[in-house]
Structure 1
């Protein structure tokens, strides 16, 4: 039986953890499709997957990445615990972070974007909730710059 707390590839480069599920998750589990997720949900979900694509896309073509590759390379998780994958874990929102128990979390704010923090050893990215008002393009650029330095986009 499919896990209703997870949507995406079994070997993601990045998992975005959110506190709520999209409508129609049951139908998407077997065949994750960004366009279907957006079509069956509000504009709010278009913003979420767009921001995920902007952060995770290996190049500048985030729209194509969002529509064709997003769930082949990333995942969404709705459970309040980190998956035991060797991957980057992105927890969006302070309220969402409160759901997690992460002993010894050592997330340090980015100097250029102090609302964003990274635990480099555990590969945990903490940001405001993935919404355009809270996670503006300038902040996304700072996140991408930090991930470039960490070799995120050069991994196989």
Structure 2
């Protein structure tokens, strides 16, 4: 991946794939920082980074501190339509975004009570609506966290 395609650690626990790049990606790639990403971009990116932190934080109630200090040490954003190699979870946000992945083969099953979110534990794949508060409410985030917890995601 080039710096224009990727932001975060080289060994992430979770990669969020998005179709649009934030402003200042070249500078952010050198020293990934959620605060700088938010400051250089719109409220839209604050929402994305916050949702990534709410889902990836090892402790649900500590997502703010995780976002501000450790987010890009444990996660990454990828803008290319190909899954990165490694033993990581892959989160593809949005139906249109999923279409960019063309021939991606998966067995994602909708979460019980949350049909807009699907999980394929074998591929370590999470499919959701585009990461926005209207589509990924705190209740939905809680269901995603519960599903990931069943897959031992938070046990590292």
Structure 2, unaligned stretches of length 5 or more? none
Does the 8 A contact of 1:2 with 1:30 survive in 2? no
Number of residue pairs matched? Answer: 155
Partner of 1:21: 21
Secondary structure in 2 aligned to 1:80? coil
1:42-65, Cα deviation, whole Å (9 max, x unpaired)? 000000000000000000200000
Residues of 2 paired with 1:95 and 1:2: CA distance?
23
What's the Cα RMSD here? Answer: 1.2
Residues of 1 paired with 2:22 and 2:104: CA distance?
29
TM-score by length of 2: 0.96
Does the 8 A contact of 2:14 with 2:76 survive in 1? yes
4-13 or 102-111: bigger deviation? 102-111
Secondary structure in 2 aligned to 1:75? strand
Does the 8 A contact of 1:15 with 1:77 survive in 2? yes
Residues of 2 paired with 1:135 and 1:80: CA distance?
22
Q: Deviating runs (4+, > 6 A) in structure 1?
A: none
Partner of 1:33: 33
1:106-125, Cα deviation, whole Å (9 max, x unpaired)? 10000121100011100000
Partner of 1:76: 77
Partner of 2:3: 3
1:112-156, Cα deviation, whole Å (9 max, x unpaired)? 21100011100000000000011111000000000111100002x
